[in-house]
Amino acid sequence: MKNKILWFLFVSNMAWAQTKTLHPESYLKIVEAYHPVARQAQIGIKKSDAQILQARGAFDPVLRHYIASKTLDGTSYYQYNAPELSIPTWYGIEVNSGIENLQGNRLDPSQTTGQTSYIGIQIPLAKNLLMDKRRAALQQAKLMNQMAFAEQRVVLNQLFLDAMEAYWHWLKCFQVLKITGQNLEAAKRRVEFVKRSLELGDRPAVDTLEASTQLMYMENQNLAKTLDYENATLQLSAYLWQENNVPSNLPKEVIPAEIWGDYSLFSNFDLSLNSILEKVDAFHPELQAYQFKIAGLNVEKKLKFQSLLPKIDLEYNHLMKEKSSSYSGALLANNYRFGIKFELPLRLSSGRGEYQSAKLKIEEETILLSQKKQQIQIKINSYFNQFQNLKKQIQTQEKAVTSYVALTKAEESKFSQGESSLFLINSREIKALEAAEKLLDLKAYLFKTVYALQASAGLLI
């Protein structure tokens, strides 16, 4: 179990055995496959599938069997046996068929003794004809299933964004640590150089103090950046899980991939503002969730409208006595049971209130949808402006780093010729270090912004 995370990295990155690097794409595969949040989102979809199955149950055929008898003082009043099969259909029509067997000495004259079979139909003529609770429940369950997929994308978008922010921070801390390590080695070499020069009488003793002070500064910088990197590794490990909900710590020998200049990572991303804004309406999961919710409320409104209609139910059964199957040729001529039920509340207060409430819910969600759409568009524009600005800042900062490094080397050259001082070299070196760290901050910020731009448009997953 301990090495499962390493094996997953190996199979998702063919260069793993040679480099022991964690590429962002491999990292995201691990997050998507094993992170508890991602797995919980999948459970939400399975729950909505179960709700659809539950709603379909209202359309399952039903087999009933009623048996009753009464005997008092030795007299058999009745013995009743009635199996029935009822088949509901999508359009509110219900087909039923059954057998009634009635025997006894004290029966109602309107009842038919012996065995009678029937096949019949029940039809709503007004209320529940176009929509009823069964159809509404199934339609809403399907919409909730689609909404569950949209909500899963919302969750995964945010999870991937948070995970990638941790990755870029880890990569930046690693590269800052590498730079401070290189500066630390340079400071050590400078101390040795100054000591040899002092022994030869080429440098004053104060230069050893200056070089040693710079070395201590670089050692402290290296310790601080080591701590930053270790903490960043812990933050990254929070997104790495194994099977059976077991958390995993990233092995110390694993390092981030060197990808600052690899903009091919963005090849699958849409970085055109107009194109992104066009895709928002069709693909953004939060907007889709609102749209599915509104669609579900429209189904509810149709159901509530049925409360404004009179209830007129028609029932017709064709009867057959024992094994006879005679049919007169006319529905209401012979051997039938027929009924019509009419019901209408005189003020329709409940129906009007429910229907008005359903319309207000739709209006409320439509307003929220418009507000959410505006918020998303503002966020997308903000991230896009930030993306464009960061590219320019990085270009400027790269030139600044090149200049600071050149000044440091020039100062070192002058120092070797006795024309400069360690104070100036140290000042140049600190400035170069600060500029390099600032450049890494900007690059990490750029990568975070690109992923945030995709997540804000709902396109990250």
Q: What does the pLDDT look like over 401-448, one tens digit per residue?
A: 999 999 999 988 888 777 778 888 889 999 999 999 999 999 999 999
CA geometry: angle at 128 spanning 124 and 131, to 5°? 135
Give the model's confidence band at 111: pLDDT under 50 very low, under 70 low, under 90 confident, else very high: confident
Tell me how far apart the alpha carbons of residues 151 and 82 are, in angstroms, rounded to a whole number. 49
Tell me how far apart the alpha carbons of residues 320 and 309 are, in angstroms, rounded to a whole number. 35
What are the structure tokens assigned to 106, written together? 């004290």
In this structure, of 132-136, 156-160, 242-246, 315-319, the range with the lowest mean pLDDT score is: 242-246
In this prediction, residue 113 carries a pLDDT of 85
What is the DSSP secondary structure assignment for residue 107, as one 8-state letter? -
Average pLDDT over residues 333-357: 89
Q: Residues near 41 by Cβ (< 8 Å), separated by ≥ 6?
A: 151, 152, 155, 156
Report which of 269, 359, 327 is spatially closest to residue 24, judged by C-alpha positions: 269
Give the model's confidence band at 331: pLDDT under 50 very low, under 70 low, under 90 confident, else very high: low
Specify the pTM. 0.82
In terms of residues, how long is the chain?
461
CA dihedral 326, 331, 333, 337 (to 10 degrees): 90
Tell me how far apart the alpha carbons of residues 144 and 135 are, in angstroms, rounded to a whole number. 14
Tell me how far apart the alpha carbons of residues 67 and 83 are, in angstroms, rounded to a whole number. 8
**Residue 265 Cα distances to 162, 262, 348, 362, angstroms:** 17, 7, 62, 41
Pick the residue with more confidence: 252 or 160? 160
Contact between residue 96 and residue 315 where contact means Cβ atoms under 8 Å apart: no
Q: In the beta sheet, which residues pair with residue 397? A: none
In this structure, of 24-38, 44-58, 326-340, the range with the lowest mean pLDDT score is: 326-340
Contact between residue 41 and residue 160 where contact means Cβ atoms under 8 Å apart: no
Give the model's confidence band at 354: pLDDT under 50 very low, under 70 low, under 90 confident, else very high: very high
pLDDT tens digits, 41-83: 889 899 999 999 999 999 999 999 999 998 988 888 889 999 9
Per-residue pLDDT at 16 exceeds 90: no
In this prediction, residue 330 carries a pLDDT of 59
Per-residue pLDDT at 13 exceeds 80: no
Tell me how far apart the alpha carbons of residues 208 and 195 are, in angstroms, rounded to a whole number. 6
Contact between residue 146 and residue 296 where contact means Cβ atoms under 8 Å apart: no
- Mean pLDDT of all residues in the chain? 88
Tell me how far apart the alpha carbons of residues 415 and 422 are, in angstroms, rounded to a whole number. 7
In this prediction, residue 14 carries a pLDDT of 36
Tell me how far apart the alpha carbons of residues 153 and 146 are, in angstroms, rounded to a whole number. 11
In this prediction, residue 15 carries a pLDDT of 37
Tell me how far apart the alpha carbons of residues 313 and 309 are, in angstroms, rounded to a whole number. 12
Average pLDDT over residues 440-459: 94
Average pLDDT over residues 12-19: 42
Residue type, 266: F
Report which of 91, 178, 177 is spatially closest to residue 135, judged by C-alpha positions: 91
Tell me how far apart the alpha carbons of residues 428 and 432 are, in angstroms, rounded to a whole number. 6
